[in-house]
């Protein structure tokens, strides 16, 4: 039976370290508050005008491609997961193709917009393409340049302190061996789309306002179609930044993480006792610790790095997995479980035999 194996993995984080103390200089927050609620000590920010979501993805991809032992022109499909694309359109998939200098136009490029679960969704999509024999070398990346789109005033502190920049990548190939992706699970529930969202600019024209807890006056007049996408009113009122109802998100996350992990293990014919390494999306250290307790896992069976990188959304799972791999914490034959939950809401799981 054809399976999807991870032939190469890589990650990249920018050099610039931003501590909680640095943030406390520009907004009303403290190191104590951030560490106590999230576990985060510091995060990385990309270099303005020098780095982007795409350029960071390229750095991570180069490592993954090298470890896979292939040339970049052997890549026959690119899957790019991000919520912070360089452009509104075109997507980062084609920008990455250009950045890597891939001249093979037979390579397709697909962008995935599933926020924190984007990478695990992408892995599931890649797995289907590989198992049907359609592609032989899929480059899957998750990359985020959050620092370009956050509110650094006190108004945005509940969101801004959580997020960091970075990228992770994998090269996926077919294998006849009994290893690689054993099962994946994908879920969504759009009921709570606005609980964690980056709404403007967008083509909604205020249509979904009834779903927002905080009434938002979008400041449109009927004649101003051109300005409904983005206008001064939105900018003045901070409606161009991410919005999050933190406690609601927290409660959903601690419910959905264990559910999707158990479901995916069951599909793979495994139990929670079989997990060697759990790589949870790095949403919040408190969420990961809750999930660890629910799964009955030891500290050395869960990889957390949110303390130094913050929440890097679509990049967090591959960065954490790559770090664990480089540290020798993931070995041949290990059962590795990936799980993510985020905006949408969407959540997803994957079980891999390394
Ligand atoms: N520094 C200091 N105070 C802050 C703050 C910050 N960075 N952010 C918010 N506060 C304040 C609030 O203004 C509020 O003050 P008030 O009581 O005077 O009104 C107080 O802290 C509590 O705010 P609240 O939002 O209820 O905090 P919380 O305990 O829920 O913690 C989160 C906030 C965001 C850390 C927490 O809800 C969380 O982690 N949620 C999940 C987020 C997540 O994982 N997101 C990614 C999903 S993929």
Q: Is 20 among the catalytic positions?
A: no
Q: Is 164 in the pocket of ligand 1 (CB under 6 A)?
A: no
CA distance 149 to 240: 8
Mean pLDDT of 315-333: 97
Which pLDDT score, from 0 to 100, does residue 224 have? Answer: 67
Task: Return the closest-CA partner of residue 139 out of 12, 272, 8.
Answer: 8
Q: How many CA atoms lie within 13 A of 281 on its CB side?
A: 34
Residue 218 has pLDDT above 80, yes or no: no
Mean pLDDT of the region 107-128? 97
What are φ and ψ of residue 239, in 5° steps? -85, 15
Give the distance, in angstroms, between the CA of residue 197 and the centroid of all CA atoms in the same chain: 14
**What is the per-residue pLDDT across 23-45, written as a single tens digit (0 to 9) for each?**
999 999 999 999 999 999 999 99
Alpha carbons 285 and 12: distance in angstroms, whole number: 21
Is residue 146 part of the annotated active site? The answer reads: no
pLDDT of residue 225: 67
116 is catalytic: yes
| Cα(44)–Cα(103) distance, integer angstroms | 31
Residue 216 — very low, low, confident or very high, per pLDDT cuts 50/70/90? low
Map out the domains of the chain with their CATH numbers. Answer: 3-177 (3.40.47.10), 199-240 (no CATH)
- Mutating to test ligand 1, I would choose from 22, 28, 36, 37 the residue with most ligand atoms within 8 A of its C-beta, which is 37
Please tell me if the CB atom of residue 284 comes closer than 6 angstroms to any atom of ligand 1. Answer: yes
Task: Tell me if 83 CB under 6 Å of ligand 1.
Answer: no
């Amino acid at each position: 039976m054809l399976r999807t194996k991870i032939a190469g993995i890589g990650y990249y984080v920018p050099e610039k370290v931003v501590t909680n103390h640095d943030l406390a200089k520009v907004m009303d927050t403290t190191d104590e508050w951030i560490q106590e609620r999230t576990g985060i000590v510091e995060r990385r920010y990309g270099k303005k005008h020098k780095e982007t979501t795409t350029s960071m993805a390229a750095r991570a991809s180069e490592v993954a491609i090298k470890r896979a032992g292939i040339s970049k022109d052997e890549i026959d499909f690119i899957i790019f997961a991000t919520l912070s694309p360089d452009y509104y359109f075109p997507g980062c998939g084609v920008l990455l193709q250009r950045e890597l200098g891939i001249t093979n136009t037979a390579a397709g490029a697909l962008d995935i917009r599933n926020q924190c679960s984007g990478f695990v969704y992408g892995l599931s999509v890649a797995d289907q393409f590989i198992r049907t024999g359609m592609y032989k070398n899929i480059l899957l990346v998750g990359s985020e340049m959050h620092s370009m789109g956050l509110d650094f005033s006190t108004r945005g502190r509940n969101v801004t302190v959580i997020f960091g920049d970075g990228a992770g990548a994998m090269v996926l190939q077919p294998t006849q061996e009994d290893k690689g992706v054993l099962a994946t699970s994908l879920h969504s529930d759009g009921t709570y789309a606005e609980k964690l969202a980056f709404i403007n600019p967008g083509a909604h024209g205020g249509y979904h306002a009834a779903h927002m807890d905080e009434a938002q006056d979008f400041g449109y007049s009927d004649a101003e179609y051109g300005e409904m996408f983005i206008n001064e009113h939105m900018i003045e009122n901070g409606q161009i930044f991410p919005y999050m109802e933190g406690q609601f998100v927290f409660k959903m996350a601690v419910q959905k993480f264990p559910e999707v992990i158990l479901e995916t293990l069951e599909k793979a014919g495994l139990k929670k006792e079989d997990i060697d390494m759990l790589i949870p999306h790095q949403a919040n250290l408190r969420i990961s610790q809750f999930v660890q307790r629910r799964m009955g896992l030891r500290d050395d069976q869960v990889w957390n790095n949110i303390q130094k990188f913050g929440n890097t959304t679509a990049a967090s799972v591959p960065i954490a997995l790559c770090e664990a791999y480089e540290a020798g914490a993931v070995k041949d034959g290990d059962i590795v479980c990936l799980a993510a939950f985020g905006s949408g809401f969407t959540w997803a799981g994957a079980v891999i035999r390394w």
